[in-house]
Structure 1
Amino acid sequence: MKVSGLNARRAAIGLAGALSMAIGLPSHAAGDYPNRPIKMVIPYTPGGSIDTVGRLVAAQLQRQMGQPIVVENRPGASGMIGSEAVAKAQSDGYTLLFNASSQVYLPLVAKNAPYDAIKDYTPIGQIGHVPLLVVANTNVPANSLRELVQLAKAKPRTYAWATSGLGTTSHLTEEMIRHSFKLDMEIVSYKGAVPQLNDVMGGHVTAAVSPMPGVYPFVKGGRLKVLAVTSGKRIPQLPDVPTVAESGLPGFELLSWYGIWGPANLPAEITQRLSREVNKAVQDPAMKARFADMSFETVQSTPEQFKALISSDITKVSAIVKAANIQID
């Protein structure tokens, strides 16, 4: 049967539309994005630092984009359950991941990580970074990290760390302190910062390392004592608290940075639109004021810059993991 040029063009257009629908991305999707609610997955329990910052960002993005940004907490397996869900979602911009640097650290320490931090995601933008605080129960007879180290050396297996999840920045910092000072301190893992810090405050676990936005209110309220900060320099909110570097680990600095990802193969138009909106959100004056209270330093980045940061951190942390022989099942 002979097909005319016009009919051939119509057939090609129809086939292209069918293929677009088959992969879940209509040809007009990028042009009118977003036209329905966006889901933002946070792979930890409500109330922790990642959740606190993520909800602030989601609310601002909602105001800017005119569509609901629905936050969904999916904790478990040190954040891997929620992260895996996003990796398997449609690449249409309606399922996003808000997570911290642990997103790229976990595959370095987990034997059977369910995702590849590079191949399974589209980096959209870094939000910023924050120092972590080394804190302890108020009844622990130590007022600095040096003193805690002395206690742990004097009484092996008496004291323990709580971490918000294996492979997190919290966990890596605790492992480095334990390894560097040769401490016999157990590390107990929790499904997020809230249960982690609750058990330290309750006296069930001795100490913890946790990002500042979630833990600082408990320090201000006198429910936890702060022993050190993980930044390279002392921070304005706690000028009398030494850094980990000052506490016996020269050169130490490990910050927790936060960012937004989409599934792999997110269309470039949608990626760039989200990147612009994220950069606009972190520069909002009200947002900057909220972040300043938490010692959270915002950054503006392109998807390419965020991708470069991820690659650089993987190289740096891989060396730490190897030196401390950190591995989880």
Structure 2
Amino acid sequence: MKILNTVAALSLSALAMLGLVLPAAAQTAYPTRAVRMIIPYPPGGGADAVGRIVAQGLTEQLHQPFVVENRGGAGTNIGLDATAKAMPDGYTIGMATSNLAINPAIYPSIPFNAEKDFAGITLLTKGLYVLVVHPSVPANTVQELIALAKSKPGTLNAAIAGLGTPGHLALAEFNKLTGADLLPVPYQGAGPAMTSVLGNQTQVLFISMASAIANVKAGKLRMLAVTSAKRSPELPDVPTAIEAGLKGLEIYEWYGLVGPAKMDPAQINTIYEKTKLVLAQPEVQQRIQALGAEPAPMAPKEFDAFIKEEIKRLGQIVRDTGIKVE
């Protein structure tokens, strides 16, 4: 009888322990509900396209919806600030772009600390930037565009997808290197900037290939150069800006995922590992490459270090070109 009582007691003890362990294990499951992904641009640009591809893939990998929320404006500062100030519970993440590294140098003040208020999750892609013009512009090469801009000052305006964007930096370098004076006309995102050039309200645009390629193929825009160090395998006949005589003009866009600074490292690692799987899928790679970008997953700590280096590199370009936002 004593043995039976002892066995029963042990059984009850074991069940009690299981009762404690099972809820704890359940608490570690992530995610258990929808995750919000803030994209700091309006719909329609390269960041939005890449973000939606990744959100769809993560939804499939983690069996919970990753819901895109477009929060454009203020050169991505609105969306980035919303990400930085979100509850660090793993259910709000955001897309960071080159602007995260540019904005500290270009804005007199921003509502977050670019180095301290974010937890890097992973780099997603590095993307090609291109120089395009409206078909009515009588220039088929970069040198012809420079000559036109100098011969008719004030007649060509350049759309930019936001103050301090890589396209803005590229335009500032173009003006500095050539002595041209293309006036920057800022818009809140790549989509509105593209619409402006398509409608000939502005005539020149430095923009991600992701945003431009469909309209180039349709003959609605003319591509004059890429701003990468080497020609793109996707566009072998298009010269680089450097080849066209613009020494040192090398601008590209990068997209990555970040969370609020105090986000759980285990959650960060879960998203990173699943994102790697998404970016390794051949169909995803094809879709991203068609947008003029290359998948480039990077571990969280590496991505944190990458962001810090980009803050130095891109900040120097801002200082060299004298870009300012009043």
The verdict on a shared fold, with TM-score over 0.5 as the criterion, is yes
Closer, same or farther: CA 277–324 of 1 in aligned 2, 3 Å: same
- Equivalent-residue separation in structure 2 for 1:27 and 1:325 (angstroms): 55
**Who is 2:104 aligned against?**
107
Among 62, 66, 82, the alignment partner of 1:65 is 62
Asked if 2 retains the 8 angstrom alpha-carbon contact of 1:107 and 1:115, the reply is no
- Aligned counterparts of 1:182 and 1:80: Cα–Cα separation in 2: 31
Quick one: distance in 2 between partners of 1:146 and 1:262?
Answer: 43
Tell me: CA distance 1:29–1:135, structure 2 relative to 1, closer, same or farther (3 Å): farther
Name the aligned partner's letter for residue 40 of structure 2: P
**In structure 2, distance between residues paired with 1:55 and 1:29:** 29
Secondary structure at 2:307 match in 1: helix
The structural deviation recorded for 1:185 is 1.6
> 3-state SS of the aligned residue for 2:243?
helix
Q: Does 1:209 align with 2:206?
A: yes
Residue 199 of structure 1 and its aligned partner are, at CA, apart by: 0.9
Structure 1 residue 284 displacement after superposition = 1.3
Q: Which residue of 2 aligns with 1:241?
A: 238
Q: Classify the secondary structure of the residue corresponding to 1:246.
A: coil
Query: Cα gap change, 1:92/1:311 in structure 2, threshold over 3 Å: closer, same or farther?
Result: same
In structure 2, the residue matched to 1:165 is 162
- Counterpart of 2:139, as a letter, is A
Deviations 1:139-167 (A, max 9, x none): 00111222111111112222111000111
Q: For structure 2, which runs of at least 5 residues remain unmatched after alignment?
A: 1-22
Task: Name whichever of 310-319 and 49-58 sits farther off.
Answer: 310-319
Q: How many residues align?
A: 304
Q: Structure 1 residue aligned with 2:177, among 176, 180, 190?
A: 180
Relative distance call for 1:219 and 1:90 in structure 2 (3 A) is same
- What residue ranges of structure 1 are gaps of 5+ in the alignment? 1-25
Partner of 1:93: 90
Task: Report if aligned partners of 1:38, 1:93 keep a CA contact under 8 Å in 2.
Answer: yes
Describe the SS at the equivalent of 1:215.
Answer: helix
Structure 1 window deviating more from structure 2 (309-318 vs 127-136): it is: 309-318
Instruction: State yes or no: 1:120 paired with 2:117.
Output: yes
- Tell me, what secondary structure is at the counterpart of 1:257? strand
- Post-superposition shift, 1:300? 2.3
2:282 to 277, 285, 288: 285
In the other structure, the counterpart of 2:8 is: none
Q: Partner of 1:256 in structure 2?
A: 253
Q: Which residue of 1 aligns with 2:32?
A: 35
How far does residue 234 in structure 1 lie from its aligned partner after superposition?
1.2
Partners of 1:316 and 1:217 lie apart in 2 by 31
**Is it true that 1:273 corresponds to 2:264 in the alignment?**
no
SS of 2:219's partner is coil
Shift of 1:325: 1.0
Residue 320 of structure 1 corresponds to which residue in structure 2? 317
Q: Contact (CA 8 Å) 2:162, 2:189: kept in 1 or not?
A: yes
Distance in 2 (CA, whole Å) between partners of 1:280 and 1:139 is: 44
Aligned to 2:44: 47
**Residue 292 (structure 1) shift:** 2.2
Offset of 1:238 from its aligned partner? 2.2
Name the CA distance, whole Å, in 2 between partners of 1:29 and 1:320. Answer: 49
Deviations 1:79-102 (A, max 9, x none): 111111111100111001013211
Distance in 2 of aligned mates of 1:28 and 1:41: 29
C-alpha distance after superposition, 1:176-227 (max 9, x if no partner): 1112212222100001111101111111101001111111000001000001
- 1:143/1:27 Cα in 2 relative to 1: closer, same or farther (>3 Å)? farther
Runs of 4+ with >6 A deviation: 26-30
Q: Distance in 1 between matches of 2:25 and 2:213?
A: 46
Q: Partner residue of 1:145?
A: 142
Q: Which has the larger radius of gyration?
A: 2
Report if aligned partners of 1:30, 1:269 keep a CA contact under 8 Å in 2.
Answer: no
Q: 1:108 to 1:184 in 2, by over 3 A?
A: same
Do the aligned partners of 1:231 and 1:255 also contact (CA within 8 Å) in 2?
A: yes
Query: What is the RMSD computed on CA atoms of the aligned residues?
Result: 1.6
Q: Who is 2:294 aligned against?
A: 297
Distance 1:258 1:28 in 2: 33
TM-score by length of 2: 0.90
